[in-house]
Amino acid sequence: MTYCAGWKSQDAVFLLADTAVTKKSKPATTHSSFGQLHDEVQGEYVEEGLLKLVPLNSGTAAAFAGDVDLATSCLDFLRSRITVTTSPRDLLQGLTVSLGPFPKERPVEILLAFTDEAGRSDLVHWDSLRGLDPTESDYYQIGSLTSYHAALTPELISLFVSGNLDTERMLSVVSAIVQSYGIHDDLIRMNVGGLIFGAMSRLGSVTWQPDTNFVLYSLDFSFRAVITAICRDNMLVLSSSITDDTRIFAHSVSMPRVGALTEDWLQRAKREIDSGATPLWVFISTVGRVITLIFRADVNMESRYVKFTNLGGGNFDLELSPDLMELLRQPLQDRNDDSMPFRLNVRNDWNATT
C-alpha cells in the first residue's frame, strides 16, 4: 500500500504521497534515502522506489494508492480523456463506466486535485470497488498508516488552514511534519516510507514541492545526514548521504518523453543537488520530535543560517549558525495541554549577505 493525503485551502488544492512500493521481488537497495530498512512485510518487500503523484494537465494532478499496474491503466485513461472543460467528477465517473468492473483483489484509490484560472477548485476521491466518492470533503487520505498518524494529519492540516498559514508554505510545512513520522516510527511495517513529497494545484497550474534539503540529526550532532529532493520534468531526483547514491523516481504516465533521461539531464540534476542551493531546509531531530524549517529568499546569496559543501562519497561539510544550533538543540517539552506532540520552528532567511 502507500500513504496519500489531499486537502483544500483557499484557492489551492494539495496532494502529498510517500514513495514506498510493495512488491514480491527483493529490493534493489537495502535502505531508503532516509535510512529506513527495506524490510519484508507479510511475505512481500517494501522499498522506496515510486513517485505516486501524476500531473494530468496544467491544473489537475492525481495521487494513487493500491495496485500499481491497475492504477497506471486508470491514470492513462484519465490523461487521455481530460480536457480543460472536463470536470474531475465526470472524468472519474467515465473511468468507472469505461474500465470497470475492477478486480477486487487489486484495489486502487485515486485522489484528483483540480483548479482553474477562474479560481474554481475541487478535490475528488475515487476507488475501484465503490467508484466516485459522493462526499464533498476538503480533506481525504488513502492507503495505509497507523491510526495515530491517520488521526494526527487531518488535525494538523485543519489547524494550519484555520490559522491562515501562507498558501505557498502550506505544502512544505505539512510534508516536513509527515516526513518526520517515518523518522520516529517504523512505518515500513505499515507499507509506508521513503521520501514524502507533494504537489499543489493553484489557479490552473500544478507545481511541485520546492527543492528541499532535509537534515537528520541527533541532539549532540554526533549523527548528521543530508537528503536532497528536487523535481525536474515530473521526475523526482533524490540524493542521500546515508546511502551515498542518487535515485530517480517517476511515473510513466507523466514522463515528459521517451529518452528524457539523457546523460546531460542527469549531470545537470546532479550539479543542482551538489550545490545545496535549495529554497527550503528541513531539520528533523532523530530523538526529540523537533522540526525546523528555514525558508530562503534567494538561493544565490549566502545563507545566514547554513553553509553546505558536498565532499562526495556521502561526506559533506555543514556549518550552522550559533542561533540555529541553539534552536535545534531545544528539547521537546510536554505542556500537558493536549497541544501537538512536536516542536515546529520556522525561520526566514531573508537577511542574507553576499
Domain of 79 in residue numbering reads as 3-349
For the chain, give the mean pLDDT: 89
**Within a domain: residue 297?**
yes
pLDDT at res. 138 = 94
- pLDDT tens digit string along 163-209? 778 999 999 999 999 898 888 776 666 666 789 999 999 999 999 99
Q: Are 79 and 60 in contact (CB under 8 A)?
A: no
161 phi and psi angles, rounded to 5 deg: -65, -45
Residues near 159 by beta carbon (within 8 Å), at least 6 away in sequence = 340
**Within a domain: residue 324?**
yes
- pLDDT tens digit string along 282-336? 999 998 789 999 999 999 899 999 999 999 888 999 999 999 999 998 876 655 5
**Within a domain: residue 178?**
yes
Total domains in the chain come to 1
Q: How large a percentage of the chain has pLDDT more than 70?
A: 90
C-alpha cell at 100: 470497470
pLDDT at res. 336 = 55
- pLDDT tens digit string along 222-278? 999 999 999 999 999 999 999 999 999 999 898 766 677 888 999 999 999 999 999
The C-alpha atoms of residue 88 and residue 100 are separated, in whole angstroms, by: 17
13 phi and psi angles, rounded to 5 deg: -130, 135
The C-alpha atoms of residue 12 and residue 199 are separated, in whole angstroms, by: 10
Report the CATH number at residue 183: 3.60.20.10
Is the model's pLDDT at 148 over the cut of 60?
A: no
**Its pTM surpasses 0.85:** yes
Q: Which residue has the cell 496519500?
A: 4
**Within a domain: residue 58?**
yes
**Within a domain: residue 354?**
no
Distance (Å) of CA 347 to CA 280, 283, 294, 317, 351: 10, 11, 5, 21, 11
**Within a domain: residue 14?**
yes
**Within a domain: residue 335?**
yes
**Within a domain: residue 19?**
yes
